[in-house]
């Protein structure tokens, strides 16, 4: 199973993802978005390629009807999905981790910081894809690809 991971796209109505991102979204089985879409049009576009699971971010408008967090089951893995802007913890990874601390998840996907991140924490893989449209202090734009094959998880950041 191949999963595209996006976050913090912050697209205004009428705008879309960079062409590099669209080119990489071929042969994807699922698309996960960790919030800050800012409008639902992107989900509709992405859904033309693969099923989409997404959560609300702190910059999403009132008409973005998404859950604050979700748990997605894929190929025997439980993926916790959250934006990461609120809750207990001093950093975005801390807040994301604490949001699922009492639930059995294998992986936590989060956003908010716009900073690509991957780290193991107490047996849970933490992954932030960064942002494909708003890199802030990062040197490059990014998003993520998760590959699950034969019970193994591989994660990569795609930089451009």
Share of the chain above pLDDT 70, in %: 100
Cα 47 to Cα 159: distance, rounded to the nearest angstrom: 23
Phi and psi at 68, nearest 5°, equal: -75, -30
**What backbone torsions phi and psi does residue 116 show, to the nearest 5 degrees?**
-55, 140
Whether 82 has a pLDDT exceeding 90, the answer reads: yes
Instruction: Tell me if 126 sits within 8 A of 80, measured CB to CB.
Output: no
Tokens of 83: 């934006």
State the Cα–Cα distance between residues 143 and 116, nearest whole angstrom. 8
Closest by Cα among 88, 97, 92, 129 to 113: 92
Q: What is residue 48's predicted lDDT score, i.e. its pLDDT?
A: 96
**Phi/psi at 9 (nearest 5 deg)?**
-80, -30
Q: What are 127-149's pLDDT values in tens digits?
A: 999 999 999 999 999 999 999 99
pLDDT tens figures, 52-81: 999 999 999 777 789 999 999 999 999 999
Tell me the percentage of the chain whose pLDDT exceeds 90. Answer: 91
Instruction: Specify the pLDDT at position 71.
Output: 98
- Ordered by where they begin, the domains of the chain are 2-159 (3.60.21.10)
The Cα 147–Cα 140 span in angstroms is 22
Provide the greatest CA pair distance for the chain: 42
Question: Is the confidence at residue 88, as pLDDT, over 80?
Answer: yes
């Amino acid at each position: 199973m191949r999963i595209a991971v996006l976050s913090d796209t912050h697209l205004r109505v009428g705008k879309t993802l960079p062409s590099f991102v669209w080119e990489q979204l071929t042969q994807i089985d699922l698309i996960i978005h960790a919030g800050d879409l800012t409008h639902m049009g992107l989900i509709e576009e992405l859904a033309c390629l693969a099923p989409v699971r997404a959560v609300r971010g702190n910059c999403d408008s009132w008409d973005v009807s998404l859950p604050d967090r979700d748990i997605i089951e894929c190929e025997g893995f439980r993926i916790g999905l959250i934006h990461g802007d609120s809750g207990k913890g001093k950093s975005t990874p801390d807040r994301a981790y604490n949001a699922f601390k009492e639930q059995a998840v294998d992986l936590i996907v989060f956003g908010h910081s716009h900073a690509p991140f991957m780290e193991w924490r107490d047996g849970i893989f933490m992954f932030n894809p960064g942002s494909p449209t708003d890199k802030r202090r990062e040197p490059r734009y990014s998003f993520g690809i998760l590959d699950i094959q034969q019970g193994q998880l591989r994660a990569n950041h795609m930089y451009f």
